[in-house]
Homo-oligomer: A and B are copies of this chain.
Amino acid sequence: MREAYHVELEQLAVKLAEMSGQVATAMELATESLLNTDLALAEQVITDDVKVDDARSACEEQAYALLALQAPVATDLRAVLAAIHAAESLERMGDLALHVAKAARRRHPDPVLPDQVREYFARMGTIAVRLARQAEEVIKSKDVDAALALEADDDEVDDIHKHLFTVLMDREWPYGVAAAVDVTLLGRFYERFADHAVSVARRMVFVVTGKMPGYGTSDEV
C-alpha cells in the first residue's frame, strides 16, 4: 500500500508541476499581450484560465483521496498538505496572469503602459515567468537549495515594484491618473505572482525539511 501511495503522490506532483508550467505560460503570454497590445494573446490567456482552475480542482480532489484512503503520516502527510497549499497558490497565480491579460484587453488597441514604465514590466514579467518555471522544477526535484534560490528573484520584483511607486509619485508623471491606476494594479499583480511562486517553493522545502522557511507573505506596499 505504501508503494501505491508513493506512486499516487508522484502523480500529484506531476500535476502540480504541470500547473506551474501552465501559469508560467499564462504570465508569459499575458506580459507579451501587455507589452505589444496583442489582443489575441490576451484572449488566449483569458480563455485558458479555466484549465488552471480545473487543474486545481483535480489536484485538490486527488490530495483528499490520498488522505482519506491512505492516512499518511510524517513526510508523506506534509507532502500532500504542501500539494494542497501549492495548488491554491498556483490557481491564484493563474488569476493574476488573467488580470494582466484583462487589463491589456480593456485598453486595447491603446497600450496600457506608458513608455516610461514599459521596461520595468518587461523585467518583472521575465522574472515572474522564471519564478513559475523554477517552482515547477522545485516541485519535480524537491531541491531545497533551488527552492531557496527563488527568494533573490522575488526580491528583485519587490525592488522594481517599490521603484514604480517612486516613478508614479514623481511630480513629473505626465500620463495622468488613469495610467497611474493601471500601473499601480499591474505592479501589484506581478509582485503577488512572484510572492506566490516563492510560497510554492517554500512549501516544497517544508516537505523535505519539515520546517517552513518563514510564515506569512512578504508583500509590502
CB neighbours (8 Å) of A57 from chain B are: 215
Complex interface bits, A158-176 against B, C-beta within 8 A gives 1, otherwise 0: 0000000100110001001
Please give the distance in Å from A7's CB to the nearest CB on chain B. Answer: 20
- Whether A85 is near chain B, meaning CB under 8 Å from some CB there, is yes
The size class of the interface chain A forms with chain B is 35 or more
> How many protomers of this protein does the assembly include?
2
Interface stretch of the complex, out of A37-45, A64-72, A145-153: A64-72
| A42–B57 CA distance with the chains assembled, in angstroms | 39
| A33–B171 CA distance with the chains assembled, in angstroms | 27
Please give the distance in Å from A51's CB to the nearest CB on chain B. Answer: 12
- Whether A4 is near chain B, meaning CB under 8 Å from some CB there, is no
CB neighbours (8 Å) of A81 from chain B are: 64, 67, 84
| A219–B91 CA distance with the chains assembled, in angstroms | 13
| A120–B82 CA distance with the chains assembled, in angstroms | 39
A56, A168, A221 pick with most chain B CB within 10 angstroms: A221
CB neighbours (8 Å) of A71 from chain B are: 71
Interface stretch of the complex, out of A14-22, A24-32, A126-134, A180-188: A180-188
- Additional A-B contact list (11), CB under 8 Å, known A57-B215, A85-B88: A53-B216, A67-B67, A92-B217, A95-B216, A99-B221, A165-B181, A169-B177, A169-B178, A173-B177, A181-B181, A181-B184
The 6 sampled A-B contact pairs (Cβ below 8 Å) are A67-B77, A91-B215, A103-B221, A169-B177, A176-B177, A180-B180
